[in-house]
Amino acid sequence: MRTTTTLAAAALATGAAAQNYLGFNTGSTLADRSAKFKADFLAEFNTAQNLVGAPGTFNAVRLYTNIQAYSTDDPIEAFEAAIETNTSILLGVWASGTDNIDNEISALQKAVTKYGKDFTDLVIGVSVGSEDLYRNSVTGVANGAGIGTQPDVLLGFINDFKKAVVGTALASIPVGHVDTWDVWPNATNKAVLDAVDWVGVDEYPYYESGKNNTIENAPALFDRAYDTTVSVVGGKPVWVTETGWPTTGPNWDLGVPSVANAKYYWDNVGCRKLFGKTPTFWYNLRDSNPDNTMKFAITNQLSTKPYFDLTCPTTFDYNPSSTASSSASSTGTTTPSSSSSTATTLVSTASTASPSGSGSRTSSAVTASSTALFVSLL
């Protein structure tokens, strides 16, 4: 029975990859740390599906937790918003700073009972954990990334989740884990790799200090990280669960935030490498991590007109066979008309590390080199 379920999940993971979802990440809280409610998620999902010039419909979302912010185990209200907007859901189970995932499972079970097929038909997979192994690594600790999780503990959580959904409508959903790319070649984490149906990779060339992380070289850094991940996961589907380039914020070594550079990255990484080719969850539609001074949102206050043209070019400035050239300066100074975005910043390193979102590599704005940073995957 376990073998049958495993094969079914693997088939679903492959099928999901074939659909090549387009989406964004979203956390459970706003920039002021207040809880997001259904109306907040509805605003995000409606904007995502109506972005001017988008190279496809962004009708999927990646969550970090099943739990409504500041509750014990109430289902996150993103579920209702997804049902109303027909948004596909990549579930998230927060797996750091805890010795069990009981409340995550309870919240999910409540959602299945309450919403039934309307909910379960939208679920495309689950990530048990987000950058937990990176935060637990030497680099993560040096970067002040926050609380992580040991591989054996994470493996236990993955198995706990699989057992909890046996016999339910979610029994066959593909179970994965999201982390930085350099986590996956590490033999210490092989048990986790063996246990998942798919691999999520978070990659931010912007944070690749000491590796010529100019915007012109960003596509090459991304390709190296992504292709390395693909080469070590034994044929399992690789989903890009976080990537993007900030529009504002401090320079990170040679990485310079600007609207022009965010556009260059969208074109030469997103359009060239990802969109329509692999499930992709961009970072991000709006920002929500108040501790992160880098802002990755592509819109101002959820406007459907982004800061830059999302239309994919027919040719690209970056040529993998040669040294990258660019039409966007690594010292670009264009800034958004406003950076009043509320929402998600990947906090793969963060204060106490919480399911509010990701987007930063350290608990403070700019400290320490992020070598683990994606050469990572997710």
pLDDT at 6: 54
pLDDT at 359: 75
Q: Report which residue type is found at 295.
A: K
Share of the chain above pLDDT 90, in %: 78
pLDDT in tens, 38-47: 999 999 999 9
Between CA 126 and CA 128 the distance in angstroms is 6
Cα dihedral 67, 73, 79, 81 sign: negative
138: tokens are 């030497």
Q: Which residues are catalytic?
A: 131, 242
Across 302-308, average pLDDT: 99
Between CA 340 and CA 342 the distance in angstroms is 6
**Does the structure show a pLDDT above 60 at 212?**
yes
17: tokens are 């990859």
What is the band of 322 on the pLDDT scale with cuts at 50, 70, 90? low
Q: Domains of the chain by range and CATH?
A: 2-360 (3.20.20.80)
What is the band of 13 on the pLDDT scale with cuts at 50, 70, 90? low
Between CA 169 and CA 119 the distance in angstroms is 10
pLDDT in tens, 234-289: 999 999 999 999 999 999 999 999 999 999 999 999 999 999 999 999 999 999 98
Task: State the chain's mean pLDDT as an integer.
Answer: 87
280: tokens are 């992709």
pLDDT at 108: 99
Within 13 Å of residue 320, how many CA atoms lie on the same side as its CB? Answer: 9
What b/e readout covers 296-323, taking b as 16+ CB neighbours within 10 angstroms?
bbbbbebbeebbbebebeeebbbeeeee
Closest CA to 334 of 284, 242, 243, 264: 264
pLDDT at 8: 53
Burial of 338 (C-beta count, 10 Å sphere; 0-12/13-18/19+) = exposed
pLDDT at 18: 55
pLDDT in tens, 217-238: 999 999 999 999 999 999 999 9
Tokens 């964004």 sit at which residue?
A: 24
Closest CA to 139 of 105, 176, 181: 181
